[in-house]
Structure 1
Amino acid sequence: MLEKAKEYAVMLCFDVKVDKEAQAYANEVGVKIFTADIIYHLFDDFTKHMTALAEQKKEESKLLAVFPCVLRPVAVFNKKDPIVVGVDVIEGNLRMLTPIAAVKENPITKVKEIINMGRVTSIERDHKQIPMCKKGQPSVAVKIEGPNQPLYGRQLEEKDTLYSLISRASIDTLKEFYRADVDKDEWALLKKLKPLFDIP
């Protein structure tokens, strides 16, 4: 396991003494040793370790996990750096740090362009910060920040529908770490958005 997945390199030692040399070697190469005289304690310690690892991986993958949403702009308050726009959530749930994009099609060539706007850094209703806005709730003001932002009035128009910028990696991350947090409607929306972003 040291070669394949270092975090799973563990030894479960039931009712045995681990001498100092063995412990020192394990520490040196990165093997975690669990010892216990009662088998249930050994199992519990190992389970706690695995849960902590899963939580750590979940935390590390937070920015990769993109929950799906579709937004209808109702007003543009700031055109760029940062973009501040009033939106209605028409599908899914809008969460903090969601990357947002518009999808434009060239009317002549029919070539699709995905315009990355940045990430949501603030969601406000009535001048109060909220962590999430669900489909059908009253409009919110959303601040979107990122490098090389497009400009409303040039690359973007107020009528452009906005989407959470999903990818194969973001869907896989949701499946692996956030399955319990994604509801049935969100899975259905992900399926619907895949062709829009050309995700196989």
Structure 2
Amino acid sequence: MAAIWSFDLTDRDVVNIPGETPSEITDMVIFNEEGFGNDTDIMETVKNFNKSDEGVFAVASTTRSLKVLVEFLRSPTVNIPVRDLDIGRITPVEIRKVYKTSDGKRKLSTILAFEVDVTPEATQLAERLQVKVIFGGVLETLCQEFKEHVKETKIDDGAILPCVLSILPDLVFNKDNPIVLGVLVVKGFIKLGTPICNMGRDCLQTGRIAWIEKDQKSVTSAEEGEAVMIKIVPSNPKQDGFSSGRHFDISDRILISQMTRESMDALTSKFKDQLNIADSEFLSDMECVLNIK
């Protein structure tokens, strides 16, 4: 006989990734009663776990393993925030969910998998969508690999790349939340997570790039000279959304990346040996346009 435990995973099958057809799944996860045994504290620990608005996706092989993982992650010495939980092997379903909820932030595009397998299809999709899957059977090793991953992504997250985008007026499909439109990368480089502001509206911050499509395929970046479709969502998930006519309008023509002194310094620190004269002039122009002191 099986016990049915309602797990809050109803959004797992609504991730819209071009070229992908999400598998049909259920929002009910079925466990054997033997998984809990006589220790009802296992279920209570997991059910009462306080999820973070931003964090990793934690997965374990069984409910008992999930309890161990949860207690380890929320211990004071580890303190890794967790956005969501699951049980079972890693499939493309989990990769799509993490991709959707991470909003392009590499540090948040992470799955910590304890004593579980990863399907080949999930591995391939994770590589394409830049979702990091850290898996193994030793909790301390998972923690250490995650910390190393955070260090690797820290500079990348702070180093916002400069860009100038020309809006393709015939390819504006939605001007509200989310903004969906075609752009030409006139100068610079864009990637998932790039914050965007509207140059025609005193550089008012519009949102963050959550999705990029080229030739009807999902991509993670676009270079100078490429024409792509992008989706812009509010930078803050708790933000109500855009105000049509204030943040963006059909008459607008130029979007640029929203940079700060901190992001400028992070960029020059990471790529100081690769910046040429033209790059330095471009950064100087961005500083003037954005009034960065």
TM-score bracket, normalised by the shorter chain, equals 0.5 to 0.7
Change beyond 3 A, Cα 1:176–1:85: same
- CA-based RMSD of the aligned residues comes to 2.5
**Greater mean deviation of Cα atoms: 173-182 or 64-73:** 173-182
Answer 1 or 2: which has greater strand percent: 1
Amino acid at match of 2:172: V
Q: Who is 1:197 aligned against?
A: 290
Query: Residue 231 of structure 2 corresponds to which residue in structure 1?
Result: 143
Aligned-pair CA distance for 1:186: 3.5
Instruction: Confirm or deny: 8 A CA contact 2:200 2:254 kept in the other structure.
Output: no
Structure 2: gaps (5+ residues):
1-146
Q: In the alignment, does 2:133 pair up with 1:63?
A: no
1:177 aligns to 2:270 (yes or no): yes
Higher relative contact order (CA 8 A, sep 6+): 1
Task: Name structure 1 gaps, 5 residues minimum.
Answer: 1-52, 106-112
User: Helix, strand or coil for the counterpart of 2:172?
Assistant: strand
Q: Residue 160 of structure 1: CA displacement? A: 2.9
Q: Aligned equivalents of 2:149 and 2:274: distance in 1?
A: 14
2-structure distance, mates of 1:151, 1:160: 17
Aligned-residue sequence identity (percent) comes to 29
Could you tell me how far 1:180 is from its partner in structure 2? 5.0
Give CA-to-partner distance per residue, 1:70-108, whole Å, 9 cap, x none.
Answer: 001112111222111100011111222110001345xxx
- In the alignment, structure 1 residue 132 sits paired with structure 2 residue 221: yes
Count residues with an aligned counterpart. 140
2:248 corresponds to 1:156:
yes
Q: 1:1-200 maps to which residues of 2 (within 5 A)?
A: 57-74=151-168, 75-104=171-200, 113-137=202-226, 139-146=227-234, 147-158=239-250, 159-180=252-273, 185-200=278-293
Name the CA distance, whole Å, in 2 between partners of 1:124 and 1:169.
29
CA offsets, 1:103-130, max 9 Å, x none?
345xxxxxxx331111111110122012
Larger radius of gyration: 1
Structure 1 residues 55 and 191, CA gap change in structure 2 (3 angstroms): farther
Supply the distance in 1 between the matched residues of 2:277 and 2:194 (Cα, whole angstroms). 19
- SS for the counterpart of 1:120 is strand
Using the alignment, how far apart are the partners of 1:61 and 1:85 within structure 2? 29
Deviation at 1:171, TM superposition (A): 0.6
Out of 86-95 and 176-185, give the one that drifted further.
176-185
Please tell me the residue identity of whatever aligns with 1:171. Answer: M
Q: Tell me how far 1:192 sits from its aligned partner.
A: 0.9
TM-score (norm 1): 0.61
Per the TM alignment, residue 148 of structure 1 is displaced from its structure 2 partner at its CA by 4.3
Inter-CA distance 54–178: structure 2 relative to 1 (3 Å threshold) = farther
CA distance in 1, matches of 2:220, 2:278: 19
Secondary structure class of the residue paired with 1:195: helix
